[in-house]
Amino acid sequence: MTQPNLDAVKHYLLDLQDRLCEGLAGADGSANFHEDAWQREGGGGGRTRVIEEGALFEKGGVNFSHVYGDKLPPSATAARPEMAGRGFHAVGVSWVLHPRNPHVPTSHGNVRFFIAEAEGQPPVWWFGGGFDLTPYYPHLEDVRHWHQVAQGLCQPFGDDVYTRYKSWCDDYFFLKHRGETRGVGGLFFDDLNEWGFERCFAFQRAVGDAFLEAYLPIIERRRHQPWGENERDFQLYRRGRYVEFNLVWDRGTLFGLQSGGRSESILMSMPPLARWEYDYHPEPGSAEAELDDYLRPRDWLNE
Protein backbone atom coordinates (compact mmCIF):
# COMPACT_ATOMS: atom_id res chain seq x y z
CA MET A 1 0.00 0.00 0.00
CA THR A 2 1.46 3.35 -1.02
CA GLN A 3 1.60 6.16 1.49
CA PRO A 4 -1.08 8.87 1.28
CA ASN A 5 0.01 11.95 -0.63
CA LEU A 6 -1.86 15.04 0.56
CA ASP A 7 -0.06 17.34 -1.88
CA ALA A 8 -1.09 15.26 -4.90
CA VAL A 9 -4.72 15.29 -3.82
CA LYS A 10 -4.64 19.03 -3.22
CA HIS A 11 -3.10 19.68 -6.64
CA TYR A 12 -5.83 17.61 -8.32
CA LEU A 13 -8.62 19.36 -6.43
CA LEU A 14 -7.40 22.85 -7.30
CA ASP A 15 -7.28 21.84 -10.97
CA LEU A 16 -10.75 20.27 -10.72
CA GLN A 17 -12.17 23.51 -9.34
CA ASP A 18 -10.70 25.40 -12.30
CA ARG A 19 -12.14 22.95 -14.82
CA LEU A 20 -15.60 22.87 -13.24
CA CYS A 21 -15.81 26.66 -13.18
CA GLU A 22 -14.69 26.91 -16.79
CA GLY A 23 -17.22 24.33 -17.97
CA LEU A 24 -20.14 25.70 -15.97
CA ALA A 25 -19.47 29.34 -16.86
CA GLY A 26 -19.28 28.28 -20.49
CA ALA A 27 -22.66 26.60 -20.18
CA ASP A 28 -24.17 29.68 -18.57
CA GLY A 29 -22.90 31.92 -21.33
CA SER A 30 -23.34 35.30 -19.63
CA ALA A 31 -21.98 35.14 -16.08
CA ASN A 32 -18.62 34.17 -14.64
CA PHE A 33 -17.52 32.93 -11.25
CA HIS A 34 -16.07 35.47 -8.87
CA GLU A 35 -13.53 34.27 -6.33
CA ASP A 36 -13.37 34.97 -2.64
CA ALA A 37 -10.17 33.66 -1.03
CA TRP A 38 -10.31 33.17 2.74
CA GLN A 39 -8.18 32.03 5.66
CA ARG A 40 -9.27 29.94 8.63
CA GLU A 41 -8.10 31.16 12.02
CA GLY A 42 -7.48 27.62 13.28
CA GLY A 43 -5.47 26.61 10.21
CA GLY A 44 -5.97 26.53 6.47
CA GLY A 45 -8.35 28.32 4.17
CA GLY A 46 -9.81 28.09 0.73
CA ARG A 47 -11.18 29.80 -2.32
CA THR A 48 -14.91 30.15 -2.79
CA ARG A 49 -16.16 30.76 -6.31
CA VAL A 50 -19.74 31.87 -6.87
CA ILE A 51 -21.80 32.52 -10.00
CA GLU A 52 -25.01 34.55 -9.68
CA GLU A 53 -27.77 35.98 -11.86
CA GLY A 54 -26.55 34.34 -15.04
CA ALA A 55 -28.50 33.31 -18.09
CA LEU A 56 -28.69 29.76 -16.73
CA PHE A 57 -27.64 29.75 -13.08
CA GLU A 58 -29.55 31.83 -10.59
CA LYS A 59 -26.85 30.87 -8.11
CA GLY A 60 -24.05 28.37 -8.00
CA GLY A 61 -20.77 27.78 -6.26
CA VAL A 62 -17.63 25.68 -6.60
CA ASN A 63 -15.59 25.73 -3.40
CA PHE A 64 -12.10 24.53 -2.61
CA SER A 65 -11.02 24.25 1.01
CA HIS A 66 -8.06 22.91 2.92
CA VAL A 67 -8.49 23.11 6.67
CA TYR A 68 -6.36 21.56 9.37
CA GLY A 69 -6.00 21.58 13.11
CA ASP A 70 -4.74 19.83 16.21
CA LYS A 71 -8.05 18.19 17.08
CA LEU A 72 -10.83 16.66 15.03
CA PRO A 73 -14.33 18.10 15.57
CA PRO A 74 -17.02 15.93 17.24
CA SER A 75 -18.81 15.20 13.94
CA ALA A 76 -15.68 13.46 12.63
CA THR A 77 -15.09 11.29 15.70
CA ALA A 78 -18.67 10.31 16.53
CA ALA A 79 -18.30 7.03 14.65
CA ARG A 80 -14.53 6.78 15.29
CA PRO A 81 -13.94 7.58 18.96
CA GLU A 82 -10.40 6.16 18.76
CA MET A 83 -9.44 9.17 16.62
CA ALA A 84 -10.35 11.79 19.19
CA GLY A 85 -7.42 14.11 19.82
CA ARG A 86 -5.65 13.51 16.51
CA GLY A 87 -4.51 16.34 14.31
CA PHE A 88 -6.13 16.45 10.89
CA HIS A 89 -6.14 17.81 7.37
CA ALA A 90 -9.37 17.99 5.35
CA VAL A 91 -9.18 19.02 1.72
CA GLY A 92 -11.97 19.00 -0.82
CA VAL A 93 -13.99 20.60 -3.58
CA SER A 94 -17.76 20.91 -3.32
CA TRP A 95 -20.22 22.37 -5.79
CA VAL A 96 -23.92 23.21 -5.94
CA LEU A 97 -25.82 24.60 -8.93
CA HIS A 98 -29.26 26.22 -8.70
CA PRO A 99 -30.53 26.97 -12.22
CA ARG A 100 -33.26 29.57 -12.73
CA ASN A 101 -35.37 27.50 -15.14
CA PRO A 102 -37.42 25.03 -13.05
CA HIS A 103 -36.99 22.40 -15.77
CA VAL A 104 -33.21 22.30 -15.25
CA PRO A 105 -32.36 20.22 -12.17
CA THR A 106 -30.38 21.43 -9.20
CA SER A 107 -27.19 19.44 -8.82
CA HIS A 108 -24.58 18.89 -6.14
CA GLY A 109 -21.26 17.12 -5.89
CA ASN A 110 -18.11 16.94 -3.83
CA VAL A 111 -14.84 15.07 -3.55
CA ARG A 112 -12.78 15.19 -0.38
CA PHE A 113 -9.86 13.66 1.47
CA PHE A 114 -9.23 13.39 5.22
CA ILE A 115 -6.07 12.42 6.99
CA ALA A 116 -5.68 12.27 10.77
CA GLU A 117 -2.32 11.82 12.42
CA ALA A 118 -0.90 11.24 15.89
CA GLU A 119 2.74 10.96 16.89
CA GLY A 120 4.04 7.42 16.85
CA GLN A 121 0.97 6.04 15.04
CA PRO A 122 0.28 5.39 11.36
CA PRO A 123 -1.98 7.97 9.69
CA VAL A 124 -5.67 7.30 9.30
CA TRP A 125 -7.02 8.52 5.97
CA TRP A 126 -10.00 8.16 3.69
CA PHE A 127 -11.69 9.58 0.61
CA GLY A 128 -15.32 10.55 0.23
CA GLY A 129 -17.64 12.28 -2.18
CA GLY A 130 -20.10 11.72 -4.99
CA PHE A 131 -22.74 13.63 -6.92
CA ASP A 132 -26.54 13.72 -6.97
CA LEU A 133 -29.34 15.27 -9.03
CA THR A 134 -32.44 17.09 -7.77
CA PRO A 135 -35.00 17.68 -10.54
CA TYR A 136 -38.33 19.44 -10.01
CA TYR A 137 -39.85 18.37 -13.32
CA PRO A 138 -38.01 15.09 -13.93
CA HIS A 139 -37.52 13.27 -17.24
CA LEU A 140 -36.65 9.60 -17.28
CA GLU A 141 -34.10 10.00 -20.10
CA ASP A 142 -32.21 12.57 -18.02
CA VAL A 143 -32.18 10.36 -14.95
CA ARG A 144 -30.98 7.38 -16.95
CA HIS A 145 -28.21 9.41 -18.57
CA TRP A 146 -27.10 10.63 -15.13
CA HIS A 147 -26.90 7.07 -13.80
CA GLN A 148 -25.28 5.68 -16.96
CA VAL A 149 -22.39 8.10 -16.46
CA ALA A 150 -22.20 7.12 -12.79
CA GLN A 151 -22.19 3.43 -13.63
CA GLY A 152 -19.58 3.89 -16.34
CA LEU A 153 -17.07 5.64 -14.10
CA CYS A 154 -17.50 2.96 -11.43
CA GLN A 155 -17.09 -0.06 -13.74
CA PRO A 156 -13.25 -0.11 -13.85
CA PHE A 157 -13.20 -0.35 -10.05
CA GLY A 158 -15.46 -3.39 -9.69
CA ASP A 159 -18.77 -4.78 -10.86
CA ASP A 160 -20.48 -4.00 -7.55
CA VAL A 161 -19.15 -0.46 -7.00
CA TYR A 162 -21.98 1.40 -8.76
CA THR A 163 -24.65 -0.65 -7.00
CA ARG A 164 -23.07 -0.06 -3.58
CA TYR A 165 -22.51 3.65 -3.95
CA LYS A 166 -25.81 4.27 -5.73
CA SER A 167 -27.60 2.61 -2.82
CA TRP A 168 -25.53 4.61 -0.31
CA CYS A 169 -26.54 7.80 -2.11
CA ASP A 170 -30.23 6.86 -1.92
CA ASP A 171 -29.87 6.17 1.80
CA TYR A 172 -27.81 9.27 2.59
CA PHE A 173 -29.81 11.88 0.66
CA PHE A 174 -33.04 10.86 2.35
CA LEU A 175 -35.20 13.27 4.33
CA LYS A 176 -36.31 11.04 7.16
CA HIS A 177 -38.81 13.57 8.47
CA ARG A 178 -40.44 13.73 5.01
CA GLY A 179 -40.09 10.09 4.00
CA GLU A 180 -38.60 10.94 0.60
CA THR A 181 -35.28 11.13 -1.19
CA ARG A 182 -33.84 14.57 -1.96
CA GLY A 183 -33.82 13.77 -5.66
CA VAL A 184 -32.95 10.92 -8.00
CA GLY A 185 -29.61 10.10 -6.44
CA GLY A 186 -26.30 9.31 -8.07
CA LEU A 187 -23.25 8.20 -6.10
CA PHE A 188 -22.14 8.65 -2.51
CA PHE A 189 -19.07 7.14 -0.87
CA ASP A 190 -17.20 7.81 2.34
CA ASP A 191 -14.44 6.25 4.48
CA LEU A 192 -12.87 4.83 1.32
CA ASN A 193 -9.40 3.40 1.95
CA GLU A 194 -9.87 -0.32 1.34
CA TRP A 195 -8.18 -0.31 -2.09
CA GLY A 196 -5.00 1.47 -1.02
CA PHE A 197 -4.18 5.09 -1.64
CA GLU A 198 -3.47 5.07 -5.39
CA ARG A 199 -6.61 3.21 -6.40
CA CYS A 200 -8.83 5.19 -4.01
CA PHE A 201 -7.36 8.43 -5.35
CA ALA A 202 -8.03 7.23 -8.91
CA PHE A 203 -11.66 6.63 -8.02
CA GLN A 204 -11.99 10.11 -6.54
CA ARG A 205 -10.61 11.55 -9.77
CA ALA A 206 -13.04 9.48 -11.83
CA VAL A 207 -15.97 10.90 -9.86
CA GLY A 208 -14.80 14.49 -10.11
CA ASP A 209 -13.92 14.23 -13.79
CA ALA A 210 -17.30 12.71 -14.76
CA PHE A 211 -19.55 15.41 -13.34
CA LEU A 212 -19.69 17.70 -16.37
CA GLU A 213 -20.27 14.70 -18.64
CA ALA A 214 -23.27 13.81 -16.50
CA TYR A 215 -24.75 17.28 -16.01
CA LEU A 216 -24.13 19.40 -19.12
CA PRO A 217 -26.24 17.28 -21.53
CA ILE A 218 -29.21 17.55 -19.16
CA ILE A 219 -28.77 21.32 -19.04
CA GLU A 220 -28.81 21.56 -22.82
CA ARG A 221 -31.94 19.44 -23.15
CA ARG A 222 -33.97 21.48 -20.64
CA ARG A 223 -32.67 25.05 -20.56
CA HIS A 224 -35.04 26.38 -23.24
CA GLN A 225 -38.24 24.77 -21.97
CA PRO A 226 -40.82 27.48 -21.25
CA TRP A 227 -41.94 28.10 -17.69
CA GLY A 228 -44.12 30.50 -15.79
CA GLU A 229 -45.29 31.49 -12.33
CA ASN A 230 -46.74 28.08 -11.51
CA GLU A 231 -43.48 26.26 -12.30
CA ARG A 232 -41.48 28.88 -10.42
CA ASP A 233 -43.64 28.53 -7.30
CA PHE A 234 -43.21 24.77 -7.35
CA GLN A 235 -39.46 25.07 -7.82
CA LEU A 236 -39.18 27.37 -4.81
CA TYR A 237 -41.36 25.03 -2.73
CA ARG A 238 -39.14 22.07 -3.57
CA ARG A 239 -36.02 24.10 -2.88
CA GLY A 240 -37.32 24.29 0.66
CA ARG A 241 -36.73 20.54 0.92
CA TYR A 242 -33.14 21.12 -0.21
CA VAL A 243 -32.64 23.59 2.62
CA GLU A 244 -34.17 21.18 5.12
CA PHE A 245 -31.77 18.42 4.19
CA ASN A 246 -28.68 20.59 4.31
CA LEU A 247 -29.49 22.06 7.71
CA VAL A 248 -30.91 18.95 9.39
CA TRP A 249 -29.13 15.92 7.95
CA ASP A 250 -26.00 16.83 5.99
CA ARG A 251 -22.80 15.73 7.78
CA GLY A 252 -20.60 17.95 5.63
CA THR A 253 -22.44 21.08 6.78
CA LEU A 254 -22.09 19.96 10.39
CA PHE A 255 -18.38 19.16 10.01
CA GLY A 256 -17.70 22.53 8.40
CA LEU A 257 -19.43 24.49 11.11
CA GLN A 258 -17.96 22.45 13.98
CA SER A 259 -14.44 22.69 12.57
CA GLY A 260 -14.61 26.46 12.45
CA GLY A 261 -14.95 26.66 8.70
CA ARG A 262 -16.13 29.78 6.94
CA SER A 263 -19.90 30.01 7.32
CA GLU A 264 -20.40 31.93 4.06
CA SER A 265 -18.67 29.18 2.11
CA ILE A 266 -20.35 26.31 3.97
CA LEU A 267 -23.82 27.79 3.47
CA MET A 268 -23.14 28.73 -0.14
CA SER A 269 -25.08 25.59 -1.03
CA MET A 270 -28.36 27.22 -0.06
CA PRO A 271 -30.61 28.39 -2.90
CA PRO A 272 -31.09 32.15 -3.26
CA LEU A 273 -34.86 31.81 -2.85
CA ALA A 274 -37.07 29.10 -1.35
CA ARG A 275 -40.58 28.87 0.08
CA TRP A 276 -42.64 26.73 2.43
CA GLU A 277 -46.38 26.13 2.22
CA TYR A 278 -48.38 24.42 4.92
CA ASP A 279 -49.62 20.93 4.00
CA TYR A 280 -49.14 21.42 0.27
CA HIS A 281 -50.25 18.64 -2.09
CA PRO A 282 -49.93 18.89 -5.87
CA GLU A 283 -53.07 18.41 -7.92
CA PRO A 284 -53.45 14.73 -8.89
CA GLY A 285 -52.37 14.10 -12.46
CA SER A 286 -50.42 17.36 -12.68
CA ALA A 287 -46.81 17.70 -13.81
CA GLU A 288 -45.94 18.59 -10.22
CA ALA A 289 -47.49 15.35 -8.94
CA GLU A 290 -45.22 13.30 -11.22
CA LEU A 291 -42.24 14.17 -9.03
CA ASP A 292 -43.54 11.88 -6.29
CA ASP A 293 -42.72 8.84 -8.42
CA TYR A 294 -39.06 9.91 -8.51
CA LEU A 295 -38.52 10.55 -4.80
CA ARG A 296 -37.80 6.96 -3.83
CA PRO A 297 -34.95 4.59 -4.59
CA ARG A 298 -35.35 2.98 -8.01
CA ASP A 299 -33.24 0.84 -10.32
CA TRP A 300 -33.07 3.52 -13.01
CA LEU A 301 -30.96 1.53 -15.47
CA ASN A 302 -32.89 -1.76 -15.41
CA GLU A 303 -36.54 -0.87 -15.02
Binding residue per annotation — 130? no
Q: What are phi and psi of 71, to 5 degrees?
A: -150, 130
Binding residue per annotation — 5? no
Binding residue per annotation — 103? no
Binding residue per annotation — 86? no
> 62-78 b/e with 16+ CB inside 10 Å = b?
bbbbbbbbeebbebbbe
Q: What are phi and psi of 57, to 5 degrees?
A: -95, 120
Binding residue per annotation — 139? no
Cα 179 to Cα 55, 95, 171, 245, 292, distances in angstroms:
34, 25, 11, 12, 11
Binding residue per annotation — 147? yes
Question: What angle, 0 to 180 degrees and rounded to 10, lies between the N-to-C axes of helices 197-222 and 6-28?
Answer: 10
Can 108 be counted among the known catalytic residues?
yes
Residue among 66, 89, 108, 145 flagged as catalytic: 108
SS3 state at 43: coil
Cα 160 to Cα 101, 155, 157, distances in angstroms:
36, 8, 9
Binding residue per annotation — 260? yes
Q: Residue type for 233, please?
A: D
**Which active-site residues does the annotation give?**
108
Specify binding-site residues.
94, 98, 108, 110-112, 147, 177, 260-262
Annotated binding site for a divalent metal cation: 98, 108, 147, 177
| Known binding residues for substrate | 94, 110-112, 260-262
